[in-house]
Amino acid sequence: MGVEDQVHVLVVTMAWQGHINPMLKLAKRLVSKGVHVTIATTEGTRYLATQKPNTPTSFATAENTTVRTPQISLEFFSDGLDLEFDRLKYFDCYIESLETIGYKNLSNLIQDFTNDGKKFSCIISNPFMPWVPKIATKCGIPCAVLWIQACTVYSIYCHYFKNPNSFPPLIDPHEYIELPGMPKLQVKDLPSFILPSCSHPIQKLVSSFIQNLDEIKWVLANSFDELEEEVIKSMASLHPICPIGPLVSSSLLGQEESINGSVDMWIPEDSCIDWLDKKPPSSVVYISFGSVASFSQKQIDNIAMALKNSNRPFLWVIKPPQKCLENTGGELSYDFQKETEGRGLVVAWCPQEKVLMHQAVACFITHCGWNSTLETMVAGVPVIAYPDWTDQPTVAKLVTSMFNVGVRLEVENGVASSEEIERCIMEVTNGPEAAKIQRRALELKEAAKKAVADGGSSDANIDQFIREFTEKL
């Protein structure tokens, strides 16, 4: 019996866009290797699918419990909360219910498969669901975790949560930290979840994940060897991490898309591609801060002023303020929109990978979320880093000091001045280092493509991973 007839993997993920998409892209890679994949996420995802017309077909047609696409099936389990419950606003309640009721319901889902004579060869979990490996252990199924942030961030968390006393107090933002395989970091470059000023519930999830690494046989990473080689090597003596990325759309890698589908929680405005078609090559400043971050009115005003003064065309994604959060999100002034009419385009959401691939894009002002960063590097686009929280300060440091594909905005109280933003736009487009930055961006683009091509480092790592969990079948 061939591998394609007997190997079935369960992928379990949080129902957030930045978590589902890398998991879905990993599922596609496994399917291309002949592995059957079931993706399990919470009922809230299906609810969003039936409420929003922008959801991909594989979600939007979900009338039954199971939705089928070629060799990938989607299963939904309840987290124990009403579908209308605001999980972002009441995050503590959401996590508690997920760890108790969600735990039971996912366990029952796996048992239902077993009762039907189907057995999972491996469970691949999201790192922010540290209770899933416990289910895998109880069921006797080997467990992997897909780390969806940079390997460098994984290493920082491992060192900190395994041995916090080896770190200084982490109060002075300019104090330096030295860790294996990394450039010298300042406290301001560290993930916010390890800082004493942070009390977010995700901090407990990350700590729990690190403390229970012994239950996890493989830690896979959405990265590639050539990008973070030294830090990957340094983790071999702690808990190895295996890069199998970048997990981006095949089209971004210049490959044919065998299975369609990604998750967008907002409706992308495809008209922006037609708008870009009318702009000169390497002329447009693209600005977007991901699916979660919202910027203050001051931040919005300063970016607007810099864009107006730069005299460059721009494409700017500004999401509507989230109702569940207070004092988030800013609005553009009427005067700015009139003064830049024709030169700029403002949209609520866009097909980011298509935008980054477009020859008109000159640079990307980004919050440095890891998914966006990988997409940017694979597209070969220079970066202007404007990080906010979680892993973003660390990624901003990597982008500018390790990957050398961009510049980082200097901020005061979290806000970059309009002059600073304008300076950085000039630096990555026409400054003395612009050509070097652009050349390095194109080098990483080629390295990423080679990593996932047949025989590349990430492709070989996926093959080895499959061999290891199938060797006893």
The domain spans of the chain are: 3-261+451-470, 271-350+360-448
pLDDT of residue 149: 97
C-alpha span between 442 and 420 (Å, rounded): 25
- Strand (E) or helix (H) holding 448: helix 434-452
pLDDT 10s digits, 422-454: 999 999 999 999 999 999 999 999 999 999 999
The C-alpha R_g of the chain, in whole angstroms, comes to 22
C-alpha span between 407 and 429 (Å, rounded): 11
Q: What's the chain's average pLDDT?
A: 89
pLDDT of residue 316: 97
Give the model's confidence band at 65: pLDDT under 50 very low, under 70 low, under 90 confident, else very high: very low
Q: Residue 60 above 60 pLDDT?
A: no
pLDDT of residue 261: 52
Three-class HEC string of 202-265:
HHHHHHHHHHCHHHCCEEEECCCCCCCHHHHHHHHHCCCCEECCCCCCHHHHCCCCCCCCCCCC
pTM: 0.91
Report domain 3-261+451-470's class. Answer: alpha beta
Q: Residue 194 above 50 pLDDT?
A: yes
Q: Is the peptide bond before 183 cis (omega within 30 degrees of 0)?
A: no
Residues 6+ apart with CB under 8 A from 432: none
Query: In the CATH hierarchy, which fold is given to the domain comprising 271-350+360-448?
Result: Rossmann fold (3.40.50)
What's the DSSP call for residue 369? -
Return the axis-axis angle of helices 418-429 and 434-452, rounded to nearest 10°. 70
pLDDT of residue 328: 54
pLDDT of residue 43: 86
* β-bridge mates for residue 72, sequence order: 37, 69
pLDDT of residue 48: 57
Q: Residue 61 above 70 pLDDT?
A: no
Collect contacts of 267-272 with beta carbons under 8 A, ≥24 apart. Answer: 267/52, 267/53, 267/54, 267/348, 267/349, 268/54, 268/349, 268/350, 268/351, 269/347, 269/348, 269/349, 269/350, 270/350, 270/351, 270/354, 271/347, 272/315, 272/345, 272/347, 272/350, 272/351, 272/355
pLDDT of residue 3: 44
b/e 333-353 (16+ beta carbons within 10 angstroms → b): eeebeeebeeebbbbebbbbb
